[in-house]
Amino acid sequence: MIKCMFSLTVVIILAVLAFVGAETAGFKAQFLFGIAIPYAALLIFVIGVLNRVIGWARSPVPFAIPSTCGQQKSLPWIKPANLDNPTTTGGVFGRMFLEVFLFRSLFRNTKTQLSEGPKISFNLEIFLWLAAIAFHASFFTVLARHLRLFTEPVPSVIQLLEKVDGMLQVGVPGILLSGFVLLAAVSYLLLRRIIEPQVNYISLTQDYFPLFLIIGIAASGILMRHIFKIDVIGAKQLAMGLVTFHPTIPEGIGGIFYVHVFFVSVLLAYFPFSKLMHMGGIFMSPTRNLPGNTRAVRHVNPWNYPVHTHTYEEYEEEFRGKMIEAGLPVEKE
């Protein structure tokens, strides 16, 4: 519980820092939270992500990992599992696509239960998958929607996306589904960690922190749109200033805007050092990206020590004369 409370406290302190700074310290603090920190965070994010992925690419894969689910292609009369254990690049693309877009391995999550008898049963545990896919899809939608503040003219795809997102037409400005789905999904993922004893036991500070941070981002965004209104034109002016390298601080956007931007900056800067790097890591997973072709292709461990070998052919070459003399059988006369 202390890990959970610690993460929550850090997020609250971050919010207070940005809010009080932007509301009381004036231009200097707004410059810090609206321009300096976002630029620094973006730089840390991009360089950090590239660095992590290149680091992984430099790590050799010692074994081909054939022990994934599903039958590997072997004899013609044994049916191979083409998606679970693909032997071709195309098959690997298929497996990767389902993994990245539909979280296929998470879908197979089961819950083991012991009932009277004693009888063991494996039940489908769908809620983690459901919350995970709702979380990722809505987060992506929210992110894409924000392009309306970073582009001029706004691409029609983004306008269409917002129209679909706001199709309920509840209130003015209309509620956008993705924001609320995001908040609900991330709240479920947090509650799951707190309430389920087994998950709670293995949860660390670095599991709670991004959840609280994302809750903060979603909540501040929704509040900004519907309750503590901000000047949207000013917000876009600031955002456009950032992406065109003509940074400006328009007056009177409102403290909560700087809280939102600061949260996002912290998330970006924290990203490369955290478990959130699974965004790049999923593409580097050997059990997902290696074809299951160990029966057809030999995988050589890249860091194998160069062992001095002496094959039988070389051995016979060396001792053939003596072998024939002693009456030993040889392969070549």
Give me the residues that bind another protein (CB under 8 A), please: 46, 49-50, 53-54, 57-61, 147-155, 158-159, 162-163, 169, 171-173, 229-233, 236-237, 240-241, 243-246, 250, 252, 280, 283, 302-303, 305-306
d(CA 84, CA 291) in angstroms, rounded, equals: 10
Question: Which one-letter DSSP state was computed for residue 106?
Answer: H
Closer residue to another protein in complex, CB, 46/330: 46
Question: At a CB cut-off of 8 Å and minimum separation 6, what does 158 contact?
Answer: 144, 145, 147, 148, 151
User: What are the CA-CA distances from residue 319 to residues 38, 248, 309 (Å)?
Assistant: 74, 84, 16
φ, ψ for residue 285, nearest 5 deg: -80, 115
Kindly give the residue spans of alpha helices, DSSP state H, lying in 66-118.
89-102, 104-107
Closer residue to another protein in complex, CB, 231/316: 231
Q: How far is the CB of 153 from another protein (least distance, A)?
A: 8
Q: How far is the CB of 207 from another protein (least distance, A)?
A: 25
Kindly give the residue spans of alpha helices, DSSP state H, lying in 111-231.
127-145, 156-165, 177-195, 197-202, 205-226
Question: At a CB cut-off of 8 Å and minimum separation 6, what does 47 contact?
Answer: 272
Q: How far is the CB of 285 from another protein (least distance, A)?
A: 13
Q: How far is the CB of 231 from another protein (least distance, A)?
A: 6
Q: How far is the CB of 190 from another protein (least distance, A)?
A: 27
Closer residue to another protein in complex, CB, 77/303: 303
Question: At a CB cut-off of 8 Å and minimum separation 6, what does 254 contact?
Answer: 224, 228, 229, 230, 231
Q: How far is the CB of 155 from another protein (least distance, A)?
A: 8
Closer residue to another protein in complex, CB, 8/223: 223
Closer residue to another protein in complex, CB, 186/230: 230
Contact (Cβ atoms closer than 8 angstroms) between residue 122 and residue 108: no
Instruction: Retrieve residue 280's tokens.
Output: 């790049």
Q: How far is the CB of 133 from another protein (least distance, A)?
A: 21
Closer residue to another protein in complex, CB, 54/326: 54
Kindly give the residue spans of alpha helices, DSSP state H, lying in 205-304.
205-226, 232-243, 255-270, 278-281, 286-289
Question: Is 123 in a helix, a strand, or coil?
Answer: strand
Closer residue to another protein in complex, CB, 163/278: 163
